[in-house]
Amino acid sequence: MNVDIGNAVRKNEEAETSEERIVLETKDLNFYYTPEVKTLKNINISIPEKKVTAFIGPSGCGKSTLLRCFNRMNDLIPGVKLEGKIEIDGQDIYSPEVNLEDLRKKVGMVFQKSNPFPMDIWENVAFGPKVNGVTDKVELEELVVSSLKQADLWREVKDRLKTSALDLSGGQQQRLCIARALANKPEIILMDEPASALDPISTNKIEETIEELRANYTIIIVTHNMQQAARVSDYTAFLMTGDLVEFNSTSTLFTNPDEKLTEDYITGRFG
Amino acid sequence: MKSDFKKKIERSNKISKAVISFGGYGVIFSIIGIFLFLLYETIPLFYGAEIDTALSFKLSKKKHVVLSGVDQYKELSYLISNNGEIDFFNLKEKRITKKDTLPLAANEIITTGVRNSNGDISLGTDKGRILFFNLNLKPVFTGSQRRIVPQLELKKSFRSDVENPADNNGIKILAFSENDDGVLYWAWVNAEDKLLLKIYDPDEEEYFDFSLSDNLENVNVTALALNPDQESLIAGDDKGELYLFDLSDHSEPDLLDNWKAADFKITSLSFLIGNNTLIVGDKNGNVTSWFEAREKGSDELKYREVHTFKKMDSEIVNVVPSPRNRLFLVIGKNGKVELNYSTTGNTELEFSENKSRVLSASFAPKADGIFVVNSKNEVSLFKLDDEHPDVSWKTLFGKVWYEGYPGPAFVWQSTGGTDSFESKFSLIPLIFGTLKGTFYAMIFAIPIALFGAIYVSQFAPKRFAKIIKPTVEIMAALPSVVIGFLAGLYFSPLFEHHLMLIFLLSVLAPALFLILISFWGMIPERKRRTLPAYYELGFVLFVMAAVYYFSSIVSLPLEKIFFNGDLKQWLYSSLNVSYDQRNSLVVGFALGFAVIPIIFTITEDALSNVPASLSSASLALGASKWQTVKRVILPAAAGGIFAGVMLGLGRAIGETMIVLMATGNTPIMDLSPFDGFRAMSANIAVEIPEAPVDGSLYRVLFLTALLLLVFTFIINSFATYIGDKLRKKYARY
Ligand SMILES: Nc1ncnc2c1ncn2[C@@H]1O[C@H](COP(=O)(O)OP(=O)(O)OP(=O)(O)O)[C@@H](O)[C@H]1O
Ligand SMILES: [Mg+2]
């Protein structure tokens, strides 16, 4: 994989210089799908607030798994075990006091394959607020409109809010899923390869959307597309076989990685 | 080699295509075939009456026929002329094969005659004499040859005016009948307009003679009808009034009642088969039917007007009842003849005897022909085709006023003790029964099946779900006769015995259950999350057991306190609710048991098939598990759930054995859950042994089957249609 990464990275250089607050932090995180196999090994990572952090790494290295630890979606899988701590805003999200629904409201997620509900567009976006107790019509309307605008979808759907979300194109559906996550006013948005199933133009659109969201949200994005990571992220984490190999500012990681493994990977020597 | 292989594949493709299309088309054709067959068996019910002239000839000699008839094979007819001659006319050979003469005095002329279905004939003469004899046309078989042999036996002959013999006492109007005990009644009006009555009592071998005119001052009797079953006489007068005499006391006839039945002179009176319905015809051509029935809020039996038949445009001269059913002929003075059916009030057909008067008309003994002699000496035999006058859209689906009922009603009662029974073929009580059973089954089955499916597919621990599903599916394989047997013989007595407990469990238990279950909610969520899944299940089972235990303990004392120790008795005495042992609740329970697995399985599949990505999306948005189920999974599975419920409904409607065995099969229309019912399916099973092939009942049962087929067809089509729509709307994941 020979790509012109340097060019893409330059754009984000200024981001590195500002002061950062850590919003999400893992401490000695181990994760098991089955007791014998450790899928995540001793992960320590600090995700800065209102930055885009990219997770890269070869297939099966545990990027999605790590991401799903952050909103506890892994809880749904029977038999999993987690060791260590994950703190969001200083609070351990696996402690018994934590309300799962609140956590997931705070940590939104966009899936690899777009999964809009079989409802109309408006209902899709309003779903999150509704299940979290927003009943005021005006407030809902505002949330729907602003979320669609933020997800850069408003212009395209404003006249067909009452038509089925399933009639949208794949790219629009994915942006709808982003809008749906935004309607919950999350602090953190997890994106698991949000553009992997899309064509270049739709991918571009998604990236533009991320670009606009970065000022207000902490975004963690899993991607296989190194250019994409370089283009959109401020920080990049490189994982391999459950290990966090390197976590660095994107420009550093792509131009001057600390680890030999990282360099091998980004220059396409394996992966 | 390679092409060989390809050929092989092609061939097997062709074969499997042929087999599959054969199977598919076969199914469609067999369903269409069944439908057409049912239709074919049903359609004759709705054919109108038809009449065909089978034979018509002119008598060579001028005769004044007073009475005539044919035998059951319509081969031999008799014609009684007013001069006492009896001609036996062979309808096949078209000639008179035998003659006979009644013993009349010189110049004595027969004025009137009546014949009952036994062949007993009474004739009145202008000399005031009554002749009583039996005339039977008997088939005699010699080998395969059939010959109709007339048998004439003179029984009695007496002068009507024993007390005061006079020459001008000719008989104007005569009525005669005989009851099952052999009591003979004659009533007549003589030339002096006196109403006279003679009763022969076979026990005492004695005649009783009465003059009823003493009771009727200034009454001019113009028509008479005797009712041997009710031992009564009805006389009509020239003002349209009817007089009812009670003859049950042979030594003292009694005028019971008198009412106005018409606005004109009553010219004809006749009781139909079964001796309940009285047909009244008047001078103006009006025909009405009457029978004794209670009025609402009264216990008294009174003659009430039931139907008004099509008006004739001339005086009614005669009413001829059919010997088989409630058809009767009404004969107008101008030669018009109407065939009416009393149950429905319908006029089945009309025909006219070319501007000549009808002297005598009679039904063939099997009511499949009409024999008419007119004043132009023409004799006609008509072939009558009216197999099912007792069935029409109105009798099947409308209210019909049956004999003895206080008013029009939906009644199913296909057969009775006697041949003269009035069949009641209303499908409404059966449809009602089917819907009632289905309703109780569904309100029992739907919640259990639906919640069960939701629990198993969404909440239950995997291991547990793996056991429940196959278990429920085994339930579906349970033969319905076993369920029906258990319900009818085991559960219904149990139900009755523990009525209070059942009642408590259905009222108290849900409340108690909710209260106890909420204790579970009091365990902090984070604690609950760490508990193994079967703790929850164990707790639920414990609560159920506790609720049952509590209910069974308090049941008896509560019954003592509130219901005097017997809820069943209390229901009857305080609420006037009767309790059938095999009632709708028991059926609902049993039928529900059969329906639950169907709904459960399909619903569970539909729920499990909702892609995990949808529930993940919902959960990731902060929705709780229950919110996810309610807002995402249930709507997405709506098509499948709907299909499951509809299939269950179809099963409940068509189910036979369970409703047959678990209800009393009484075709009543009552919403009370403590009463039984009769479902369409069970009705077919119950009645088919009693239904003579091609009879009305037989065809009505086929109609019921057709209706069931149409019902299930509609439900399934509806299910498919709605299911598809729902799937299009929600399930395009
Ligand atoms: N539900 C599961 N149960 C058991 N093992 C799982 C499950 N999901 C993932 N794994 C395993 O965990 C490891 C990490 O998977 P994960 O999906 O996190 O990889 P990934 O880095 O996201 O890969 P990709 O880039 O292909 O998406 C893999 O070996 C995978 O097989
Ligand atoms: Mg992944």
Placement of tokens 């760490």 in the chain: B530
Q: What is the pLDDT of residue B156?
A: 77
Q: Provide φ and ψ at A107, rounded to 5°.
A: -115, 95
Contact between B621 and A108 using a beta-carbon 8 Å cutoff? yes
Name the pLDDT band for B607 (thresholds 50, 70, 90): very high
Q: What is the pLDDT of residue A33?
A: 94
Residue B620 has pLDDT above 50, yes or no: yes
B688-721 residue pLDDT tens: 998 889 999 999 999 999 999 999 889 888 888 8
Look at chain A and count its residues: 271
Tokens for B560, please give them: 């003592």
The answer to whether B613 faces chain A, any CB pair under 8 Å, is yes
The answer to whether A131 faces chain B, any CB pair under 8 Å, is yes
Residue nearest to atom 17 of ligand 1 (CA): A64
Name the pLDDT band for B119 (thresholds 50, 70, 90): confident
User: Measured between alpha carbons, how far is B603 from B445 in angstroms, rounded to an integer?
Assistant: 12
The answer to whether A13 faces chain B, any CB pair under 8 Å, is no
Residues of chain B contacting A119 with CB distance shorter than 8 Å:
635, 730
Contact between A115 and B627 using a beta-carbon 8 Å cutoff? no
In a mutagenesis test of the B interface, which of A72, A101, A220 is the best target, namely the one with the most B β-carbons within 10 Å? Answer: A101
Contact between A118 and B622 using a beta-carbon 8 Å cutoff? no
The answer to whether A173 faces chain B, any CB pair under 8 Å, is no
Give the Cα-Cα-Cα angle B284, B290, B294 (nearest 5 degrees): 145
In a mutagenesis test of the A interface, which of B621, B628, B732 is the best target, namely the one with the most A β-carbons within 10 Å? Answer: B621
The answer to whether B633 faces chain A, any CB pair under 8 Å, is no
Determine what percent of chain B is predicted with pLDDT higher than 90: 50
Handedness of CA A60, A66, A71, A77 (dihedral sign): positive
Tokens for A34, please give them: 């089955």
Name the pLDDT band for B525 (thresholds 50, 70, 90): low
Measured CA to CA in angstroms, residue B170 lies from B165, B233, B249 at distances of: 11, 21, 27
Q: What is the pLDDT of residue B168?
A: 66
Residue B568 has pLDDT above 80, yes or no: no
User: Measured between alpha carbons, how far is A259 from A238 in angstroms, rounded to an integer?
Assistant: 10
Nearest ligand (C-alpha, residue A56): 1
A255-259, B352-356, B414-418, range with the lowest pLDDT: B352-356
Contact between A131 and B616 using a beta-carbon 8 Å cutoff? no
Scan residues 422-481 of B and list those with Cβ closer than 8 Å to A. Answer: 462
Measure A64 CA to ligand 1 centroid, in angstroms.
7
- Give the pLDDT mean for B76-105: 90
Strand partners, A25: A46, A87
The answer to whether B625 faces chain A, any CB pair under 8 Å, is no
Contact between B622 and A128 using a beta-carbon 8 Å cutoff? yes
The ipTM is 0.91
- Give the pLDDT mean for B433-453: 93
The answer to whether B627 faces chain A, any CB pair under 8 Å, is yes
pTM of the model: 0.84
Residue B364 has pLDDT above 80, yes or no: yes
The CATH code of domain B428-679+712-729 reads 1.10.3720.10
Tokens for B26, please give them: 């076969």
Residues with CB under 6 A from ligand 1: A 33, 39, 57, 59-65, 77, 224
User: Measured between alpha carbons, how far is B307 from B279 in angstroms, rounded to an integer?
Assistant: 9
Residue of A nearest to B627 (CA): A131
For residue A78, give the nearest of B462, B627, B636 by CB distance. Answer: B462
Q: Give the strand pairing for B378-385 and B50-58.
A: antiparallel
Q: What is the pLDDT of residue B417?
A: 78
Residue of A nearest to B533 (CA): A78
Q: How far is A14 from chain B (nearest CA, A)?
A: 33
Sheet holding A235-240, edge to edge: A107-110, A188-192, A218-222, A52-56, A235-240, A243-249
Determine what percent of chain A is predicted with pLDDT higher than 90: 69
Residues of chain B contacting A129 with CB distance shorter than 8 Å:
none
A73-87, B50-64, B255-269, B719-733, range with the lowest pLDDT: B719-733
Contact between B616 and A76 using a beta-carbon 8 Å cutoff? yes
The answer to whether A233 faces chain B, any CB pair under 8 Å, is no
Measured CA to CA in angstroms, residue A157 lies from A138, A195, B265 at distances of: 19, 20, 86
The CATH code of domain B50-413 reads 2.130.10.10
Write the DSSP symbol of residue B690.
Answer: G
With a CB cutoff of 8 Å and minimum separation 6, the contacts of A179 are: A124, A125, A147, A148, A150, A151, A153
Contact between A117 and B614 using a beta-carbon 8 Å cutoff? yes
Q: What is the pLDDT of residue A8?
A: 45
Average per-residue pLDDT for chain B: 88
Give the position, in ligand 1's atom list, of the atom nearest the Cα of A112. Answer: 27
Name the pLDDT band for B1 (thresholds 50, 70, 90): low
Scan residues 296-315 of B and list those with Cβ closer than 8 Å to A. Answer: none
Look at chain B and count its residues: 733
User: Measured between alpha carbons, how far is B495 from B505 in angstroms, rounded to an integer?
Assistant: 12
Contact between B462 and A131 using a beta-carbon 8 Å cutoff? no
Name the pLDDT band for A7 (thresholds 50, 70, 90): very low
B80-84, B167-171, B362-366, range with the lowest pLDDT: B167-171
Residue of B nearest to A76 (CA): B616
Measure B615 CA to ligand 1 centroid, in angstroms.
19
Contact between B621 and A71 using a beta-carbon 8 Å cutoff? no
Residues of chain A contacting B621 with CB distance shorter than 8 Å:
104-105, 108, 127-128, 131-132, 180-181, 184
What is the topology classification, in CATH, of domain A6-117+187-266?
Rossmann fold (3.40.50)
Contact between A73 and B619 using a beta-carbon 8 Å cutoff? yes
The answer to whether A186 faces chain B, any CB pair under 8 Å, is no
The answer to whether B685 faces chain A, any CB pair under 8 Å, is no
Measured CA to CA in angstroms, residue B132 lies from B105, B121, B123, B168, B185 at distances of: 15, 6, 7, 21, 11
- Of the candidates A189, A242, A218, which has an alpha carbon nearest to the alpha carbon of residue A58? A242
B577-589 residue pLDDT tens: 788 888 888 898 8
Q: What is the pLDDT of residue B529?
A: 66
Q: Provide φ and ψ at B352, rounded to 5°.
A: -135, 140
Q: How far is A103 from chain B (nearest CA, A)?
A: 7
Average per-residue pLDDT for chain A: 88
Contact between A96 and B526 using a beta-carbon 8 Å cutoff? yes
Name the pLDDT band for B502 (thresholds 50, 70, 90): confident
- Of the candidates B51, B44, B47, which has an alpha carbon nearest to the alpha carbon of residue B384? B51
Q: What is the pLDDT of residue A125?
A: 95
Residues B326, B344: contact at Cβ < 8 Å? no
B630-668 residue pLDDT tens: 999 999 898 889 989 998 999 999 888 999 988 888 888
Residue A271 has pLDDT above 70, yes or no: no
User: Measured between alpha carbons, how far is B588 from B502 in angstroms, rounded to an integer?
Assistant: 14
Name the pLDDT band for B203 (thresholds 50, 70, 90): confident
Residue of B nearest to A97 (CA): B526
B526-543 residue pLDDT tens: 677 677 767 877 888 888
Chains A and B form CB pairs within 8 A to the count of 82
The answer to whether B523 faces chain A, any CB pair under 8 Å, is no
Q: What is the pLDDT of residue B162?
A: 53
With a CB cutoff of 8 Å and minimum separation 6, the contacts of B25 are: none
Residues B68, B362: contact at Cβ < 8 Å? yes
User: Measured between alpha carbons, how far is A80 from A78 in angstroms, rounded to an integer?
Assistant: 6
Residues of chain A contacting B727 with CB distance shorter than 8 Å:
none
Contact between A131 and B613 using a beta-carbon 8 Å cutoff? no
Question: Roughly what angle, to the nearest 10 degrees, separates helices A170-182 and A121-131?
Answer: 30
Q: How far is A102 from chain B (nearest CA, A)?
A: 6
Residues B597, B691: contact at Cβ < 8 Å? no
Residue of A nearest to B638 (CA): A118
Domain parsing of chain A, residue ranges: 6-117+187-266
Residue nearest to atom 28 of ligand 1 (CA): A60
With a CB cutoff of 8 Å and minimum separation 6, the contacts of B385 are: B47, B49, B50, B51, B52, B368
3-state SS, residue B21: helix
More confident residue, B119 or A148: A148
Q: What is the pLDDT of residue A18?
A: 54
Residue A2 has pLDDT above 70, yes or no: no
More confident residue, A1 or A136: A136
Q: What is the pLDDT of residue A13?
A: 44
Whether B428-679+712-729 and B50-413 are alike in CATH topology: the answer is no
3-state SS, residue B322: coil
Name the pLDDT band for B732 (thresholds 50, 70, 90): low
The answer to whether B624 faces chain A, any CB pair under 8 Å, is yes
Name the pLDDT band for A1 (thresholds 50, 70, 90): very low
Residues of chain B contacting A117 with CB distance shorter than 8 Å:
614, 617-618, 632
